[in-house]
Amino acid sequence: MNKIKYILLTSLIAATAFLCGCESNSVGAPKVKYIVDGKEQESAPDKNYYKTVSIESNSRDASIVWDVSTWTLESSNTTGKETVNVYFEYQDKPVTVDGVGFDSLQDAFNYIGTDSKKVYLTKDVTGGGNTAEGSDISIEMGGFTIDGAGKDTIINNGKMTIIGAGTITNSVNGKYSKSIVNYGELTLQGVTVTNDTDSVTVWNSENGSSVLTIKDCEISHSKETVMTIVNSGSMEIVSGNITGCGDSFHPVIYNNRGSSVLTLTGGNVNNTADGYSIYNESGVVNPGATTYGESYNMPSVQ
């Protein structure tokens, strides 16, 4: 329900009788009070963290509703003498879209479908999500954590940007679960991505249209028998740090197909153990300012 109608302030029925004597078509903005978690505020709170509980008005004739989608008060048939109280309370849901709270990331993705929406986290989330083809989603991490807990955490099938301080992880040891799987166009900016399972942290797939851009991120894996990133599409490292502790068979980044393109614009790739930082199987590598340790089949930097 996108609009919340008012209920009458019973203590102001007498005032209502007076207001009803005014012309019904006269126009004037009502006086609005915003009651946030029981305290009056000067303006409405952030819709991504609060929900509208109810509205009270002293007028029987005016049409007054709170529009959840636009987060504004809509009114008609008012005189300017109306008093309206709008009540808000903190939305105790981990994920919100359009001011609507969801218990899981997948529920939020299902709500978005193929639309273009922004997702906000209000607290840590357990369980991941799989987006629809054609979706265009931005996830504002807000400093919180998304943990796939044994299943792939985020699977992107459309266009996605994940931005802000926060962590995407998969923490269940012994599972084979990735933290990020990209089949579409994905930008990671300022986020931490980790993995403690027996699968890679990030997989940029080989479906022919997978594009991954990494900016100011910290991406890592905790195991020496697992690679941090497998690139089978097109990937650019703009800035940030990508680390791993893999042995000689498990590089930090594995560029694994002839059609794979790895562009090294900046940042750092580091293996803290004895393995390769980058292992280029047969793909294209565009060298730049990215620093990295011992690697295989890499072009010379001009």
Domain boundaries, position 28 = 3-90
Torsion angle (degrees, nearest 10) of CA 12, 17, 21, 25: 50
pLDDT at 22 over 70: no
For residue 301, tell me if it sits in a domain.
Answer: no
Mark whether 21 and 60 lie in a shared domain: yes
Cβ-count burial 87-115 (b if 16+ within 10 Å, e if not): bbeebebbbbbbbbbbebbbbbbeebeee
Mark whether 119 and 50 lie in a shared domain: no
Mark whether 83 and 102 lie in a shared domain: no
Mark whether 78 and 142 lie in a shared domain: no
Q: Give the pLDDT band (50/70/90) at residue 301.
A: low
Mark whether 150 and 76 lie in a shared domain: no
For residue 302, tell me if it sits in a domain.
Answer: no
Domain boundary among 60, 90, 120: 90
For residue 143, tell me if it sits in a domain.
Answer: yes
- Yes or no: say if 228 and 221 are a contact pair by the CB < 8 Å rule: yes
Count of domains for the chain: 2
For residue 54, tell me if it sits in a domain.
Answer: yes
Mark whether 133 and 67 lie in a shared domain: no
Sign of the CA dihedral running 105, 108, 114, 116: negative
Predicted confidence at residue 5, as pLDDT, reads 59
Q: Any idea which residue has 């919100």 for tokens?
A: 96
Sheet holding 229-231, edge to edge: 129-130, 154-156, 180-182, 202-204, 229-231, 253-255, 278-280, 295-296
Mark whether 103 and 227 lie in a shared domain: yes
For residue 263, tell me if it sits in a domain.
Answer: yes
- N residues, the chain: 302
Mark whether 188 and 292 lie in a shared domain: yes
For residue 205, tell me if it sits in a domain.
Answer: yes
Q: How many CB atoms lie within 10 A of CB 1?
A: 6
pLDDT at 18 over 90: no
Surface-to-core class of residue 86, CB atoms within 10 Å of its CB (0-12 exposed, 13-18 middle, 19+ buried): buried
Mark whether 57 and 103 lie in a shared domain: no
For residue 226, tell me if it sits in a domain.
Answer: yes
- Give the pLDDT confidence of 41-81 residue by residue, as tens digits: 999 999 999 999 999 999 888 899 999 889 999 999 899 89
Predicted confidence at residue 182, as pLDDT, reads 98
DSSP 8-state secondary structure symbol assigned to residue 108: H
- Give the pLDDT confidence of 285-296 residue by residue, as tens digits: 999 999 999 999
- Give the pLDDT confidence of 185-234 residue by residue, as tens digits: 999 999 999 999 999 999 999 866 899 999 999 999 999 999 999 999 99
The dihedrals phi and psi of 110, each to the nearest 5 degrees, come to -65, -40
Angstrom distance (rounded) from CA 59 to CA 51:
24
For residue 188, tell me if it sits in a domain.
Answer: yes
Domain boundary among 52, 75, 90: 90
pLDDT at 247 over 80: yes
Mark whether 82 and 126 lie in a shared domain: no
Q: What is the pTM of this model?
A: 0.86
Domain boundary among 63, 90, 117: 90
Mark whether 133 and 252 lie in a shared domain: yes
Mark whether 141 and 265 lie in a shared domain: yes
- Yes or no: say if 95 and 102 are a contact pair by the CB < 8 Å rule: yes
Count of alpha carbons within 13 angstroms of residue 195, beta-carbon side:
35
